[in-house]
Amino acid sequence: MKIVFASALVAVSFATQAQTLRVGLAEDPDVLDPSMARTFVGRIVFAGLCDKLFDLDEKLNVVPQLATSYEWSKDNKSLIVKLRNGVTFHDGEKFDAQAVKYNLERHKDMKGSNRRGELAVVSSVDAVDASTVRINLAAPFAPLLAVLTDRAGMMVSPKAAEAAGDKFGARPVCSGPFKFVERVAQDRIVLERFPNYWNKGQIHFDRIVYQPIVDATVRLANLRSGQLDFIERMAPSDVPQLRNDSRFKIAKIVEIGYQGITINVGKSDIAQKNPLGKDARVREAFELSLDRDAIVKVAMEGEAQPGNQWVAPSNQYYGKSAPIPKRNVQRARQLLKEAGVPNPSFTLMTPTTSDAQRIAQIVQAMAKDAGFDIKIQSTEFATSLNLADKGQFEAYVLAWSGRADPDGNLHTMLACKGPTNYAGYCKDDVEALINESRTSLDPARRAAAYDKIAQAVAKDRPIVYLYHRNWLWAHNAKLSGLRTVPDGMVRVQGLKMN
């Protein structure tokens, strides 16, 4: 009898434990307010906490989440969105058109909001009826739907947001599958199942605990010792070791972001003072000296896809007229000779992360074969951003986490007034094409515009794109229902421990 009772106890306690999903994050998220948030890792937590108007599927198609359908007005300057009925926020408040209006206006107007730029084109929001909202735009804006699949599309409880003011992020109230329980900074964020979730049939855990563990080796050790069920961003060097362990599985997806080298071609006077910034032939020689396959193999242990544009070659908007150039040292030398600088020298600013350091060293060695003399300047990330912003650099190893719509990877870096246009690139014809690509809703027209931009950028090289990383996830083999969406978010709907 005792044995039966003990076994039952063990079974019960196991079942209780099994209902908690423990996720290891690579960093500690910042503030949990969708308007203010700015980190990639924060978006992973939001995936469990806050539903959005739209979501992405594995092929990057926009699919409804809190919306049920949408329609563009004839002039393409309004988006009419039908909303899901019967949705409530975690505090019991009703989700309706007024709530959407409140949220979009909050994203746009709140002081310190990081969503302002993404929604700059939104001029007003009308609640047509309880379940219909009309988003009016100053001009047609194709990336809007994709923008609404991220934080700008996340809906928080208006009542809770009003009450908490700028402290909302300390106790967020949304309408996602899990509600906020507690946060111990740098230790854990605990969420528990929201019983009134509109899609509760898809939720199979009672709690999720997100734990930031910065060191990839320690994160993996926690998975292997059974303290975590899932870890994001495992180190590529750990893949072979874990692949032989049947207790775990590895999932990988090519990211929507990129890794590249930004070249100062017009950000400051420095651009005209060094041959790399001044002469497009020198930049062409620099690119021809690089072997992207080898960079991927050495810097990323093969866990990335070589690329030469702001989107990966597998993306529907990749400009096929500008394919990845092959390494050609001889041609590079010839170009340098034509430019009158057979041995150009420049400084490559590099953040102190191990990826960036490895890239810089490999690039330095490869470019040397063509005659380049590259000095590596390792700089702490925040400092490097500041130097880039002031144009105090010649070339800069910089990654971008990526946005679902190609415009999010292009406009901010290469449009004349893009806030992160560190290259200082500004060409009238490219500017016109970028504007066309964002205002046209026709995918074929957009693709044609991107193809032309790709050709121009491949010639001017304000950014030498190198590769697109694989998001590497490792998890308990018993975990099923994992969806590998290229934005790198861990969607909890459908996740189950067998």
Q: For residues 107 and 292, which CB has a smaller minimum distance to other proteins in the complex?
A: 107
Q: For residues 33 and 451, which CB has a smaller minimum distance to other proteins in the complex?
A: 33
Rounded Cα–Cα distance for residues 363 and 381 (Å): 19
Per CB under 8 A, 412 contacts other proteins: yes
Among 166, 206, 293, 436, the residue binding other proteins under the rule CB under 8 A is 166
Per CB under 8 A, 217 contacts other proteins: yes
Rounded Cα–Cα distance for residues 267 and 392 (Å): 9
Q: For residues 380 and 442, which CB has a smaller minimum distance to other proteins in the complex?
A: 380
Q: Minimum distance between the CB of residue 444 and other proteins, rounded to whole angstroms?
A: 29
Q: For residues 10 and 214, which CB has a smaller minimum distance to other proteins in the complex?
A: 214
Q: For residues 132 and 412, which CB has a smaller minimum distance to other proteins in the complex?
A: 412
Q: Minimum distance between the CB of residue 216 and other proteins, rounded to whole angstroms?
A: 11
Question: Which one of 84-92, 167-175, 434-442, 446-454 is the stretch in contact with other proteins (CB under 8 A)?
Answer: 167-175
Among 21, 33, 103, 304, the residue binding other proteins under the rule CB under 8 A is 33
Sequence-ordered list of residues with C-beta below 8 angstroms from that of 112, at least 6 positions apart, any chain: 36, 166
Per CB under 8 A, 380 contacts other proteins: yes
Among 106, 107, 179, 183, the residue binding other proteins under the rule CB under 8 A is 183
Whether residue 402 contacts residue 309, with contact meaning beta carbons closer than 8 Å, is answered with no
Among 169, 266, 307, 488, the residue binding other proteins under the rule CB under 8 A is 169
Q: For residues 249 and 283, which CB has a smaller minimum distance to other proteins in the complex?
A: 249
Question: Which one of 1-9, 337-345, 375-383, 429-437 is the stretch in contact with other proteins (CB under 8 A)?
Answer: 375-383
Rounded Cα–Cα distance for residues 202 and 210 (Å): 20
Q: For residues 47 and 213, which CB has a smaller minimum distance to other proteins in the complex?
A: 213
Per CB under 8 A, 225 contacts other proteins: yes
Whether residue 70 contacts residue 152, with contact meaning beta carbons closer than 8 Å, is answered with no
Rounded Cα–Cα distance for residues 49 and 182 (Å): 12
Sequence-ordered list of residues with C-beta below 8 angstroms from that of 104, at least 6 positions apart, any chain: 119, 122, 125, 135, 152
Q: For residues 167 and 326, which CB has a smaller minimum distance to other proteins in the complex?
A: 167
Q: For residues 186 and 314, which CB has a smaller minimum distance to other proteins in the complex?
A: 186
Q: Alpha helix (H) ranges present in 172-245?
A: 216-224, 239-243
Q: Cα-flanking dihedrals φ and ψ of residue 405, to 5°?
A: -90, 140
Question: Which one of 1-9, 11-19, 217-225, 487-495 is the stretch in contact with other proteins (CB under 8 A)?
Answer: 217-225
Q: Minimum distance between the CB of residue 213 and other proteins, rounded to whole angstroms?
A: 5
* Closest to 466 (Cα-Cα) out of 348, 359, 314: 359
Q: Alpha helix (H) ranges present in 225-274?
A: 239-243, 270-273
* Closest to 354 (Cα-Cα) out of 300, 427, 415, 407: 300
Among 92, 226, 323, 340, the residue binding other proteins under the rule CB under 8 A is 226
Q: For residues 42 and 344, which CB has a smaller minimum distance to other proteins in the complex?
A: 42
Question: Which one of 3-11, 84-92, 386-394, 474-482 is the stretch in contact with other proteins (CB under 8 A)?
Answer: 386-394
| 25 DSSP assignment | E
Sequence-ordered list of residues with C-beta below 8 angstroms from that of 358, at least 6 positions apart, any chain: 298, 299
Among 65, 149, 157, 211, the residue binding other proteins under the rule CB under 8 A is 211
Per CB under 8 A, 224 contacts other proteins: yes
Binding to other proteins (CB under 8 A) within 261-300 occurs at none
Q: For residues 368 and 390, which CB has a smaller minimum distance to other proteins in the complex?
A: 390
List of E strands, 324-426: 345-351, 373-379, 395-400
Among 124, 202, 378, 401, the residue binding other proteins under the rule CB under 8 A is 401
Any idea which residue has 């700028």 for tokens?
166
Sequence-ordered list of residues with C-beta below 8 angstroms from that of 274, at least 6 positions apart, any chain: 344, 345, 346, 394
Binding to other proteins (CB under 8 A) within 61-120 occurs at 111-114, 116-118
* Burial (CB count <10 Å: 0-12, 13-18, 19+), residue 324: middle
| 94 DSSP assignment | B
Whether residue 216 contacts residue 235, with contact meaning beta carbons closer than 8 Å, is answered with yes
Question: Which one of 7-15, 140-148, 313-321, 379-387 is the stretch in contact with other proteins (CB under 8 A)?
Answer: 379-387
Sign of CA dihedral 180, 184, 189, 191: negative
Rounded Cα–Cα distance for residues 373 and 124 (Å): 53
Q: For residues 70 and 400, which CB has a smaller minimum distance to other proteins in the complex?
A: 400
Among 86, 184, 195, 246, the residue binding other proteins under the rule CB under 8 A is 184
**SS3 call for 466:** strand
Using CB under 8 A, count the residues that bind other proteins: 50
Rounded Cα–Cα distance for residues 449 and 441 (Å): 12
Number of C-alpha atoms within 13 angstroms, CB side, residue 114? 12
Among 39, 76, 361, 377, the residue binding other proteins under the rule CB under 8 A is 39
Rounded Cα–Cα distance for residues 415 and 310 (Å): 13
Binding-site ranges for other proteins (CB under 8 A): 28, 30-31, 33, 36-39, 111-114, 116-118, 166-167, 169-170, 183-187, 211-215, 217-218, 221-222, 224-227, 380-383, 385-387, 389, 400-401, 412, 419-420
